[in-house]
Structure 1
Amino acid sequence: MLNALRLLRFTDDPDQVFTPTGIKRITRQAQTSPAQHKGKCMSMIASPTEFHLSIRVSDLEESTAFYTRFLGVEPKDRTPRFSTFIAPELRLNLVLLVNDSGKPLDTYSLYHIGLGVRDKAAVLESYFRAKANGTPIVKPPRTTWRGTPLHELWLRDPTGYGIEVYARLSPDELASMPANQEPTYLVPGTEPSAAPKHV
């Protein structure tokens, strides 16, 4: 202990120490107490840079072709067991994996994958592109008002996972919310047909 004190002791300046070769400044990491974060929501992860998602698929070749069109990028890596997509603008690292369990995949637990786009026009453009590619349309473009108001489009990937393409409403669009808050369909003729009347 005495030897350690001879080699290193603090000066009156808490950011300076005596060392055998002279006085040196030290950098201290900021330390915060739980009280300083009271009422704040802190991320568990420090400085995140990329979101990585790995999902198992029923048909790797078909799913790889689908996500190539969906993301607009070719796979970065492709093997008989997996395909990897890097979408820098989304900070996304998506890996598709073969299903080698011998059991059907559970598409219920992963409720859906969401992709936010710029505005209502982008949702509509995505709809027409998906339709031209033969992608199953689960819900056509519509504006929903309950919960979080969104312009949204729902698709289905080859495995059966749901995909939501959505845009948040502008203040002007929010101001036009109908009193009954029923969905507004954005493409004429895509509204659900009225239920048949029983006679």
Structure 2
Amino acid sequence: MRRMHIGLQVDDLDESIEFYTRLFGCEPTLQRPDYAKWMLDDPRVNFSLDTHGSGQPGSAHYGIQVETPEELAAMRDHIDAADLPRSDQADLVCGYQLQHKSWVTDPNGLWWEAFFTEGVVDEGYGTAEMPDP
């Protein structure tokens, strides 16, 4: 099953965590000093906040999270069949998780990722760098 992902850059993480905790009615699933994530089931969304990157507060990237490597392969096949150029990343730490990703950009330059997460890691937030389009 797929889950929508919204990764939002914020100025004040504590203030944003308090706001979204109240909005969603639950505490973050994963929280670090520079990151917070909610794995919501209704609606089925992976919503994360971070203080990394070079964009303005409120800038975001979007994605589709899959549950298995096979689903990621199917998403990559779908992207290729749609004739969309993609950039892949494997075995990277992002948002305190080991992930494998494929990126595409929309006509306005908005980043979308298809990704599979293997699990949580403790060695740091990871990369905030996007691949070359």
Query: Normalising TM by the smaller chain, what interval?
Result: 0.3 to 0.5
Higher RCO (C-alpha under 8 Å, 6+ residues apart): 2
Q: What TM-score results when the alignment is normalised by the length of structure 2?
A: 0.44
Report the TM-score, using the length of structure 1 for normalisation. Answer: 0.31
Q: Which has the higher strand share?
A: 2
Larger gyration radius, structure 1 or structure 2: 1
